Chain A
Amino acid sequence: MKFINEYRDAELGKSLIARIKERSTKPARLMEFCGGHTVSIAKYGIRQLLPPTITMLSGPGCPVCVTASADLDKAIALAKLPDVIITTFGDMIKVPASRSSLQQVKAEGGDVRIVYSTLDALKIAQSNPSKSVVFIGVGFETTAPTVAASVLQAAQQGIDNYYVLSLHKLCPPVVKALLDSGEVKIDGIVCPGHVSVIIGSHPYEFIPRDYGIACVISGFEPLDILQCVDMLVDQIESGQPRVEIAYRRGVKPEGNRIALELMDKVFEVCDGNWRGIGVVPGSGLRLRKEYQHYDAEHNFEIRPGEPIEPKGCICGDVLRAVKTPLDCKLFRKVCNPEHPVGPCMVSSEGSCAAYYQYGEGYGR
């Protein structure tokens, strides 16, 4: 298939691996930011192909995983309200929150629907004028513009029963928070691909400058990731960290101006609550005052109660790249995709799910 198979070419892959092996001499701890990267690395067995000098660590780039229990509790409280239809992306409904999950609320009679895009949610709002339709807005800079567009469309078409629970997160601030915490020891970052399509490469400049850490923006195909690792090794071996783009077919240094403007028009930056990381200043998005009419938190009275974290679950440590799923006592034994304890086992982009499904560390 065009534009896919080229990036999975086995021969090119093997020659890139040979190149990396030849040149990597210093130990390099690399954090792949995105869940999408983690899945590709597991699915294509990239970890086994790399030399022992290179350690790949999963980062916090799984939108479902980083949604705080407290925020998920809000979604569940909304789902329990009468005449409310919850619309959400698929993975979200399975994530266990403090006391329940959206899936459970649905089974108990709540109206929870899976949609593929915000436009589907808008359609549901239009065809159910007597109900309130709430879209659970999770995701990074990648999805936020589409949610912004849906709010603008609702305004334009006079759809006044559409609401967004904005749990969006911003990537650069959380990287800063992780690095400032001092507990994450990394030499390079496989920087987000789709997020960077929107924000460009400039917002990462502070990472090599202030922390001396190598940065390369990567796509999600196996050759993308291998090329990215190759470039990171280059930077690390030469001692010259900087921001580079390996994902040139998607990312421009300045990003996508239209998408950024849309986002800025509808949302303003606020603090974001990250599962396992906590509240990170300036890492969230909320609807601006002009669009408060569409803000679920502003329009519904909910009391979700105190959040409870599952016992023994180390999803927080996994999201901070401090531990891997293999370090978790619950992994595979108590926690599996059928009975997930934490969000990283639920999301298709979660590290634990990727490790489980593709057998990372199998036989160890």
Chain B
Amino acid sequence: MEDKILLAHGSGGKLSHDLVKQNFVPLFDNAFLNKLDDSAVFELKGRLAFTTDSYVVNPIFFPGGDIGKLAVCGTVNDLSMMGAVPKYLSIALIIEEGLLMSDLKRIMGSIKKAVQEAGIKIVTGDTKVVNKGSADRLFINSAGVGVIPPGVDISGSNARVGDKVILSGSIGDHGIAVISQREGLQFSSSVKSDCAPLNKLVAEMLDSGVEIRCLRDPTRGGVASTLNEFAESSNVGIRIEEENLPVHEGVQAACELLGFDPLYVANEGKLVALVAAGGAKKVVEVMRRNKYGKEAAIIGEVVSEHPGRVILKTRMGASRIVDMLVGEQLPRIC
């Protein structure tokens, strides 16, 4: 019979100890974690960013990633969107009894790959096992700290009239990849989650010297919700052009069939930036050199009219409101 996670793996006793010592510590091997003290102790200088997120995606494996990769990328990206350089991460697992050991190992493997790519360290963690039915296979919480370089000031309330809206690439891939996997939709099997750590892309954007005013990763609620947040926090209007929105064919096809609007579908490896108009082209050029920004494009601008509102200009020349997402379009996608 295949090895499975038992309640005892979370009991704090021998099995827990072995699981952590044999499977987790060697994988993430670093001086902070290896000590296995109650807390990781480290020094950091400067302004810090600190964030946490819980990951409950269903299914835990999907095209283009899994819950482990997501747990690293999501938190790395939340730090990056403040302009912070991500440093340290915590990972806490809540495992439903009966999870296959091989699945857990596979997920830990992708966590390792993601932290390596992002160039950060997992310095502390926790493992709990709950009764069958008390969780859905595996939930992960991750928290992270990062250092904000001097002079960087990024906030959703910094937008100014005239700023350009930049999107780093195609939209909706993550949400559609997850729902396709969950519902067994064959037609969109080509769609892969865009799940990726964006810290290096952000660092390159900041290095360009152009003033980056707002940054956010359009996860749940999609690009539409992110733009609405900017418009509201900065009390400005935002106008975007339908023509400039990159949507992959598989995503469009799935959206047509399911009745979704890609503007509201989640992304896990994209960012929206509002930047000073003069430097927008330069930022886009810089972004396109990074593999996560290849399809970066200017999709619109910040205007003084209709403060708090996002307006989309359709291909035929009409305008319509792009509102916040209400309720959930797709449940449990991250």
Q: B318 in the interface, Cβ–Cβ < 8 Å?
A: yes
Residues of chain A lying within 8 A (CB to CB) of residue B321: 357-359, 362
Residues of chain A lying within 8 A (CB to CB) of residue B309: 359, 362
B265 to chain A, nearest CB (A): 14
The CA-CA distance from A14 to B316 in the complex, in Å, is 6
Q: Of A222, A337, A357, which contacts B316 at CB under 8 A?
A: A222
Residues of chain A lying within 8 A (CB to CB) of residue B249: 1
Contact check, A45 vs B319: say whether CB atoms are below 8 A apart.
Answer: yes
A164 to chain B, nearest CB (A): 22
**Binary CB contact string for chain A from 48 to 85 against chain B (1 if under 8 A, 0 otherwise):** 11000000000000000000000000000000000000
Residues of chain A lying within 8 A (CB to CB) of residue B318: 44-46, 48-49
Contact check, A338 vs B327: say whether CB atoms are below 8 A apart.
Answer: yes
Closest to A90 in B: B259
Q: Which of B290-334 contact A (CB under 8 A)?
A: 306, 309, 311, 314-321, 323, 326-327
Closest to A2 in B: B249
Q: B253 in the interface, Cβ–Cβ < 8 Å?
A: yes
Q: Which of A330-344 contact B (CB under 8 A)?
A: 336-338
> What DSSP secondary structure best describes chain A's contact surface?
helix
The CA-CA distance from A34 to B253 in the complex, in Å, is 22
Q: B2 in the interface, Cβ–Cβ < 8 Å?
A: no
Contact check, A45 vs B326: say whether CB atoms are below 8 A apart.
Answer: no
Q: B252 in the interface, Cβ–Cβ < 8 Å?
A: yes
Residues of chain B lying within 8 A (CB to CB) of residue A17: 316
Contact check, B323 vs A45: say whether CB atoms are below 8 A apart.
Answer: no
Q: Of A42, A116, A357, which contacts B183 at CB under 8 A?
A: A116
Q: A227 in the interface, Cβ–Cβ < 8 Å?
A: no
The CA-CA distance from A356 to B327 in the complex, in Å, is 14
Residues of chain B lying within 8 A (CB to CB) of residue A1: 249, 252-253, 256
B interface, how many residues as a size bin? 20 to 34
Contact check, A359 vs B320: say whether CB atoms are below 8 A apart.
Answer: yes
Closest to B264 in A: A357
Q: How many interface residues does A have (CB within 8 Å)? A: 27
Closest to A356 in B: B323
Contact check, B253 vs A358: say whether CB atoms are below 8 A apart.
Answer: no
**Binary CB contact string for chain A from 4 to 19 against chain B (1 if under 8 A, 0 otherwise):** 1000101001100100
Q: A24 in the interface, Cβ–Cβ < 8 Å?
A: no
The CA-CA distance from A336 to B326 in the complex, in Å, is 9
Contact check, B323 vs A49: say whether CB atoms are below 8 A apart.
Answer: no
The CA-CA distance from A4 to B309 in the complex, in Å, is 29
Residues of chain B lying within 8 A (CB to CB) of residue A29: none
A107 to chain B, nearest CB (A): 14
Q: Which of A86-106 contact B (CB under 8 A)?
A: 94
Residues of chain B lying within 8 A (CB to CB) of residue A43: 320
Contact check, B323 vs A44: say whether CB atoms are below 8 A apart.
Answer: no
Contact check, A44 vs B326: say whether CB atoms are below 8 A apart.
Answer: no
Residues of chain B lying within 8 A (CB to CB) of residue A358: 320-321, 323
Closest to B257 in A: A116
Q: A348 in the interface, Cβ–Cβ < 8 Å?
A: yes
A104 to chain B, nearest CB (A): 14
Contact check, B252 vs A357: say whether CB atoms are below 8 A apart.
Answer: no
Q: Which of B174-228 contact A (CB under 8 A)?
A: 183
Given contacts A1-B249, A8-B315, A337-B327, contact A45 B183 (CB under 8 A): no
B333 to chain A, nearest CB (A): 15
Contact check, B183 vs A44: say whether CB atoms are below 8 A apart.
Answer: no
Closest to A4 in B: B256
Residues of chain B lying within 8 A (CB to CB) of residue A10: 243, 315-317
Residues of chain B lying within 8 A (CB to CB) of residue A337: 326-327
The CA-CA distance from A168 to B134 in the complex, in Å, is 39
Residues of chain B lying within 8 A (CB to CB) of residue A363: 306
The CA-CA distance from A46 to B314 in the complex, in Å, is 10
Closest to B313 in A: A45
Q: Which of B225-282 contact A (CB under 8 A)?
A: 243, 249, 252-253, 256, 259
The CA-CA distance from A112 to B183 in the complex, in Å, is 18
Q: Of A42, A338, A362, which contacts B326 at CB under 8 A?
A: A338
B256 to chain A, nearest CB (A): 6
The CA-CA distance from A301 to B28 in the complex, in Å, is 61
The 5 closest A-B pairs by CB, nearest first: A45-B318, A359-B321, A337-B326, A10-B315, A13-B316
Q: Can you name 16 A-B residue pairings with CB atoms under 8 Å?
A: A10-B315, A10-B317, A14-B316, A42-B320, A44-B314, A45-B314, A45-B316, A45-B320, A48-B319, A49-B317, A348-B259, A358-B323, A359-B311, A359-B323, A362-B321, A363-B306
Supplied contacts A4-B253, A45-B318, 9 more A-B pairs, CB within 8 Å: A1-B256, A4-B252, A44-B314, A44-B318, A48-B319, A338-B326, A338-B327, A358-B323, A362-B309
